Amino acid sequence: MDTVLGKSGKKITDAVFTKNIVFFWRKSRFSLTNKKLTGQVPNTILWIIPAGKYEIVHPVKSISSVGCTTKVHPVRFIFGIFLLLCAAVIHSFGSLIVYGVPASIMLLNSYTTKFEVFTNTARPQGFEVSILEKGKMKSFVTQITTLITES
């Protein structure tokens, strides 16, 4: 992602986050300059089928705060357990593929990290990333928070 800096703009950091544990090639990319936060987040249908990307641009002066939270998705977890139990009951290789693979995907994505941007005028925007990226996300949020408080 190329960020247009403009006058007196300087890049502070770039961050790339895996959106999904299983489909690791789908990446969210964010860039922070001293003037704005930009990003590209992939859109998918049913977490699998690529459907373009969502681009964000927030001037730093319009960001009131940012946050990093973790979330358990109970519907994904329960449905994943149900599919795993179906695969175990049927005891065949075909059922392992039909039920076991989707069950694994749902269970691996039932615990996520969410990056939220709160602006002065609009509702918060949230972007889910893999739970394995939580440490990197917290570091990125700290950099944004530092920039917001200094400007």
CATH classification of the domain holding 68: 2.30.29.30
Residue 99 lies in a domain: no
Please check whether residue 92 lies inside any domain of the structure.
no
In a domain, 143, yes or no: yes
Least Cα distance to 35 among 74, 70, 3 occurs for: 3
Is residue 58 assigned to a domain? yes
Q: What is the pLDDT of residues 38-56, one digit of tens each?
A: 999 888 787 677 788 889 9
Q: Say if 2 falls within a structural domain.
A: no
Q: Is residue 54 part of a domain?
A: yes
Q: What is the pTM of this model?
A: 0.81
C-alpha torsion sign, points 37, 111, 27, 11: positive
Three-class secondary structure of residue 9 per DSSP: coil
Q: Give 119's strand partners.
A: 63
| pLDDT of 11 above 80 | yes
Q: CA Rg, the chain, in Å? A: 18
For residue 130, give its domain range: 11-73+109-150
Tell me if 89 is assigned to some domain.
Answer: no
Q: Which residue has the higher pLDDT, 23 or 140?
A: 140
For the chain, the first-to-last Cα distance in angstroms comes to 25
Confirm whether 131 is domain-assigned: yes
- Strand, helix or coil for residue 17: strand
Count: domains in the chain: 1
pLDDT digits (tens, 9 = 90+) for 101-120: 888 888 888 999 999 999 88
pLDDT in tens, 77-105: 999 999 888 888 887 777 778 888 888 88
